[in-house]
Amino acid sequence: MTNETNENAAAAARRAEADERAMRRALEEARLAAEEGEVPVGAVVTDGTGKRIASARNQTRTLCDPTAHAEILAIGAAAGVKGDWRLDDCTLYVTLEPCAMCAGACVTARVGRVVWAADDPLRGGARSRFRILETAELNHHPEIETGVLAEEASRMLKDFFKTRRAENRAARNGGGGDEAD
C-alpha cells in the first residue's frame, strides 16, 4: 500500500467513526421523540469541522404542526446558529430517510451531505420512493450516505409502531385491561 492509500483509508475510517457518533446522537433524539408519543425520528446537523450545531426530533403532535419533522427543525436551527440559510459545509444526520418535504428542504438549504440510517420504502423522498436529492433538474445535489446504524433505527421504528398498533387495538376494544370494580 502506498502512503496515499493509507491516508485515504485512515480518513475514511475517521469519517465512518464521526458518522456513527453523530447518528448515535440522532438516535437519542429519536428515543426522546418516542417517549413524547412522536414517531421516533431524530436529526443532527454538524458543521464543516464535525461540530454538532443543531439537533431535533419529530414534534408534529407536540407542536400541532405537520411540518415539524426532525430534519426541518434541525435545518432551521442550524441556519440560525450559522446565521446563513446555506448549509453547504454541513452534514445532516437523520435516523430515517427524509420524506419529500425534508429532501426538498435539504436541496433548498444546500445541505452538503445527507446521512440516514433506515430507508423508507413507503415515503422516502431522498432515494427509496422519490429521488429528490438526485434529481438532475434541481440546482443542488448533496453527497449521500445511507445505512449508518440502520438496524438500530429500524428496530426503534418497528417497536414504536407495534406498540402504537396494540394501543389502538386496545382502545377500539374498550381498553382491554382489567379494571377494578
Which positions are catalytic? 71
Between the alpha carbon of residue 138 and those of residues 128, 131, 132, 133, 135, the distances in Å are: 18, 11, 8, 8, 6
- The H or E element spanning position 80 is helix 70-82
C-alpha dihedral (86, 89, 92, 93), degrees to nearest 10: -170
Query: Cell 419529500, residue?
Result: 100
* Bridge partner residues of 106 (DSSP): none
Do 97 and 122 meet the contact criterion of CB atoms below 8 Å apart? no
CB atoms within 10 A of CB 131: 13
Side-chain-facing half-sphere of 93: CA atoms under 13 Å: 30
